[in-house]
Structure 1
Amino acid sequence: MTDETTDERTYRVVVNDEEQYSIWLAARELPAGWHAEGTEGTREECLAHIGEVWTDMRPRSLRERMAEAR
């Protein structure tokens, strides 16, 4: 059985000011508050990259508050 819904579009990895990651279609304008991180490729490649670099899911502001509380 072949998958006829194979997504061959190009995506980019995006990140916001809280250092939260997502993917966005490369052909679309980025939403407010997000900027391109520099990685582009297939959906799977972008998600794999996010899996490697986004190891702490807490928003940056929470990480900073927690570090100050120590």
Structure 2
Amino acid sequence: MTDRSAAPRMFLVLVNSLGRYSLWPADLDTPVGWPAAYGPAARAQCLAFIDRASTHHPAVTAASAA
């Protein structure tokens, strides 16, 4: 049975040196080389941040043009 009174799980958006994003649970230690770029926030907010950020990332733009 699910405890509906529990707070929703919060997440971070991490980014590595290549500009790749990762959704990460905020209650876990972040891996070395992956600093937080956004959050903690709800999962949907983090995914929206990644969507906005990835549309402005040069690698994504170049891959889309190929």
What's the TM-score, normalizing by structure 1?
A: 0.65
**Aligned letter for 1:38?**
Y
Bigger Cα Rg: 1
Residue in structure 2 matched with residue 20 of structure 1 by the alignment: 20
Are residues 1:53 and 2:53 paired? Answer: yes
Instruction: Work out the CA distance in 2 between the residues paired with 1:19 and 1:39.
Output: 17
TM-score (norm 2): 0.68
Identical residues among aligned pairs (%): 33
Q: Give the Cα–Cα distance (whole angstroms) in 1 for the partners of residues 26 and 58 of structure 2.
A: 24
Counterpart in the other structure of 2:9: 9
Letter of the 1:23 partner, please give it.
Answer: L
When the two chains are superposed, the root-mean-square deviation of aligned CA atoms in Å is 2.6
CA deviations 1:8-53 (Å, max 9, x no partner) are 2000111000010111111110012201113321111100110011
SS in 1 for 2:18: coil
1:34 is aligned to 34
For structure 2, the 5+ residue unaligned runs are: none
Give 4+ residue runs of structure 1 displaced > 3 Å after superposition.
Answer: 56-59
